[in-house]
Amino acid sequence: MEAKKISETRVIHTDQVLLNDLNNYDTLFGGVLMKKMDACATLSARRHSRVKQCVTASTDSVNFLHPIRQSDSVAIESFVCYTGRRSMEIFCKVVAEDLETGERKIAATAFFTFVPLDENKKPLQVLEVIPETDEEKYLYETGKEREEIRRLKREQNKELVSRLSPKKACT
């Protein structure tokens, strides 16, 4: 299996902020932004794996850095930055641009993990990626550490779930 350049997985989606996407502080709802990031990351995952189904296995390190206002446009850039045997890590960078002043700032970042599935919904092997830019190289080189952190968090979550009850609480 051949490796792919990270640039081949890059997706950029630009949108305007609509009134119904705002919370009571007149800033973009975090959940609306996360939905947009997940949709963009899905395209990067599918572009890399070239399969019909890629599922979100985890979302981590979602960082909301600056509020996004109605006067802003939102550009979400996603790309596969690191791969394991059967999963791929997609980095999302959100840039808000004030359409009146032209000022741009990184408003959010996130890492998503996706798994490509075959027609029987079984995980497929993932191609490696080749970083080219300084940003891509940094994200690639630090990917193994994030993968290990996710593994530890999965183990902690299994322990947590084993102690939870699905029964409805009495009210």
Please report, for residues 10, 48, 85, 144, 154, the alpha-carbon distance to residue 125 in angstroms, rounded to integers and kept in the order given: 20, 12, 6, 17, 20
Q: Each residue's pLDDT tens digit in the chain (171 positions)?
A: 689 999 999 999 999 999 999 999 999 999 999 999 999 999 999 999 999 999 999 998 899 999 999 999 999 999 999 999 999 999 999 999 999 999 999 999 999 999 999 999 999 999 999 999 999 999 999 999 999 999 999 999 999 999 999 888 776
Secondary structure (DSSP) of 130-167: E--SHHHHHHHHTHHHHHHHHHHHHHHHHHHHHT---S
Residue type, 103: E
Note the CATH number of domain 4-162: 3.10.129.10
Please report, for residues 13, 33, 98, 148, the alpha-carbon distance to residue 56 in angstroms, rounded to integers and kept in the order given: 19, 16, 31, 18
Q: What is the pTM of this model?
A: 0.91
How far apart are the C-alpha atoms of 164 and 86, rounded to whole Å?
29
